[in-house]
Amino acid sequence: MSVTFYWYPNCDTCKKAKKWMDEHNVTYNPIHIVEEPPSKDQLADFIAKSEQPIKKFFNTSGKKYRELGLKDKLKTATEEEQLLLLASDGMLIKRPIVTDGKNATVGFKEEEFNNTWI
């Protein structure tokens, strides 16, 4: 199986996900999420395929999220506005995002990776 792996190399969660994929022989194409953030349309696709709400795709523990005051702003933002925000800055996106075109996961939970990527 080959997947696309949106990651930030300094992210500990991304490192854990990469290690898991290496150990389970999952072939991946790594994409630096800050240098090449996914587009609004790609994000909408990942959200639909992950079956997670859009709020799960925000890096709520990130500095940029706090600086922009998104905790309060997102309560009234439309989905379109939220997608545009996510697509505007890879640091706002929770990572890693892994997709094979049919499925998508956000973040790293070993059980979810076991169920989705093996």
Contacts 24+ apart (CB under 8 A), 74-77: none
The residue type at 54: I
pLDDT band at 1 (very low <50, low <70, confident <90, very high): confident
The total number of residues shown for the chain amounts to 118
How many other C-beta atoms lie within 10 A of the C-beta of residue 95? 23
How do the domains of the chain map onto residue ranges? 2-117
Q: Give the per-residue pLDDT at 20.
A: 98
Q: Give the per-residue pLDDT at 114.
A: 97
Kindly tell me if the per-residue pLDDT of 33 is higher than 90: yes
Please give the mean pLDDT across all residues of the chain. Answer: 96
- For the domain made up of 2-117, the CATH class stated in words is alpha beta
Q: What is the pTM of this model?
A: 0.94
Give tens-digit pLDDT for 60-77: 999 999 999 999 999 999
The residue type at 59: N
Kindly tell me if the per-residue pLDDT of 58 is higher than 90: yes
